[in-house]
């Protein structure tokens, strides 16, 4: 199966390099496509072309080269169960009004999810923007790179899945912007009111469903000390039970540094979950990660860049219970891009769960973007 997998990759690379897709890029049909592919949120025009649709996306294929011992994870050997196809669509409706959306299909195209469907009204030169619709909830910074083309490893940090509920998109209203401050610094802010979450599942992971009329309120404040260095803090609160009596709070701190091909990012996340004494009492959840990477771009044929990545993360979804959900993990990755729109990732990780032996796993991933 792995031989067929890599044969498919080779044929696709040849198609991009010599076929119709490469001719489209060379013709300039996509208007600076090499700068605009991946996420429509990143598209910026000096003079926006009104009602001109932008359509981008990616296809990712994943296969293991070393699997863990957990029998529940053996499905990872099925390549097509690890396939993800994502479409981004957006357009500039008016000079200060835009629309963008994101549709994600994974689990072998069996699961469909609208991650984003929002309108952005730029009231004051990106110092004040109002979003309405469905968007990523403004908690932490990992959400900016959770999409496969942006994530420097194949897995995401455990705290971003087991404390913050994975790809946490919600429906509501978001205010955000960036304001120039003293000594060339910039203050960035995000504030949202959304439907909110349901309570933690049995494994401690947060439910994404909205099960009551209470609204979640939260956001993030960050300061860009100089271009490439930013620190920030996030907070969110809302009632999660059907009767609107119990509250869940999130608080986090983050830092990111990007310069000269280096990137260092880190987050600390804590959450308090109110719970009745009959159910075991309230508990805290805590996690953090530290990730460092370096990208080298030699600008030669069939080598757009090569990048090394290392990450350590730790998570405790319930401080009252010690089980396999309490885990420390270290991961190493190597990324290679033979062409502008093709990425190949390799990751090897070692996870130390509180009640289990150290588990080792390795994965390959290939991403085709447009």
When pLDDT is averaged across residues 183-210 and rounded to a whole number, the result is 79
Residue 274: which residues within 8 A CB-CB, separation 6 or more? 246, 247, 248, 282
Our measurement of the distance from residue 5's CA atom to the centroid of its chain's CA atoms, rounded to an integer in Å, reads 25
Is residue 91 a contact partner of residue 54, using CB atoms and an 8 Å limit?
yes
Copy the structure tokens of residue 202.
């049995």
Q: What is the pLDDT of residues 39-50, one digit of tens each?
A: 666 555 556 678
Average pLDDT, the chain: 82
Query: Highest-confidence range of 121-125, 276-280, 282-286, 288-292, by mean pLDDT?
Result: 288-292
CA distance 263 to 249: 29
Q: How far apart are CA 147 and CA 140, in angstroms?
A: 15
Angle at 251 (CA atoms; ends 247, 252), nearest 5 degrees: 155
All structural domains of the chain: 2-369 (2.40.160.10)
Q: C-alpha angle with apex 122: 39 to 45, nearest 5 degrees?
A: 50
Each residue of 63-77: pLDDT tens digit?
A: 888 766 554 444 444
Q: State how far the Cα of 249 lies from the Cα of 260, in Å rounded to an integer.
A: 37
Separation of alpha carbons 220 and 188, rounded Å = 8
Q: Evaluate whether 203 touches 214 at the Cβ level (below 8 Å).
A: no
User: Residues 299-326: what's their mean pLDDT?
Assistant: 89
When pLDDT is cut at 50, 70 and 90, the band that residue 137 belongs to is: very high
174 is written with which tokens? Answer: 């978001």
In sequence order, the β-bridge partners of residue 190 are 176, 220
Decide which of 70 and 350 is more confident. Answer: 350
Mean pLDDT of 323-330: 90
Closest to 197 (Cα-Cα) out of 285, 90, 281, 288:
285
Tokens 């990007």 correspond to what residue? 258
**Residue with the larger pLDDT of the pair 357 and 8:** 357
- Average pLDDT value for residue range 1-25: 40
Residues 57 and 370 sit within 8 Å (Cβ to Cβ): yes
**Stretch 339-361: mean pLDDT, rounded?**
90
Local structure of residue 339 (DSSP, 8 states): E
Does residue 325 have a pLDDT over 90? no
Higher pLDDT: 355 or 366? It is: 366
pLDDT band at 241 (very low <50, low <70, confident <90, very high): confident
In this predicted structure, what is the pLDDT of residue 43?
Answer: 57
């Amino acid at each position: 199966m792995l031989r067929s997998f890599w044969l498919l990759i080779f044929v696709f690379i040849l198609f991009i390099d010599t076929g119709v897709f490469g001719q489209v890029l060379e013709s300039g049909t996509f208007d600076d496509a090499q700068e605009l592919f991946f996420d429509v949120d990143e598209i910026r025009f000096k003079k926006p072309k009104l009602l001109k649709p932008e359509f981008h996306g990616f296809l990712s294929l994943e296969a293991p080269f070393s699997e863990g011992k957990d029998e529940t994870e053996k499905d990872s050997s099925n390549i097509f169960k690890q396939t993800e196809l994502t479409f981004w669509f957006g357009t500039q409706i008016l000079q200060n009004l835009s629309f963008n959306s994101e549709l994600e299909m994974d689990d072998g195209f069996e699961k469909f999810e609208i991650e984003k469907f929002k309108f952005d009204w730029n009231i004051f030169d990106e110092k004040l923007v109002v979003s309405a619709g469905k968007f990523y909830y403004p908690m932490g910074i990992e959400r900016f790179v959770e999409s496969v083309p942006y994530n420097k490893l194949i897995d995401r940090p455990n705290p971003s899945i087991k404390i913050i509920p994975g790809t946490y998109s919600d429906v509501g209203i978001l205010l955000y912007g960036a304001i120039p401050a003293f000594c060339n610094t910039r203050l960035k802010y995000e504030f949202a009111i959304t439907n909110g979450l349901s309570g933690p599942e049995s494994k401690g992971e947060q439910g994404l469903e909205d099960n009551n009329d209470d609204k979640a309120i939260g956001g993030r404040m960050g300061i860009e000390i100089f271009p490439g260095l930013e620190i920030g803090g996030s907070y969110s609160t809302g009632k999660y039970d059907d009767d609107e009596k119990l509250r869940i709070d999130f608080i986090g701190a983050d830092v990111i540094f990007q310069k000269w091909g280096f990137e260092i990012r880190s987050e600390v996340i804590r959450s308090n979950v109110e719970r009745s004494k009959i159910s075991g009492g309230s508990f805290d959840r805590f996690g953090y990660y530290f990730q460092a990477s370096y990208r080298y771009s030699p600008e030669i044929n069939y080598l757009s860049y090569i990048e090394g990545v290392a990450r350590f993360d730790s998570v405790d979804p319930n401080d009252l219970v010690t089980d396999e959900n309490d885990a420390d993990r270290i991961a190493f990755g190597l990324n290679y891009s033979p062409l502008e729109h093709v990425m190949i990732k390799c990751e090897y990780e070692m996870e130390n769960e509180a009640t289990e032996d150290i588990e080792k796993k390795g994965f390959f991933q290939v991403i085709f973007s447009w």
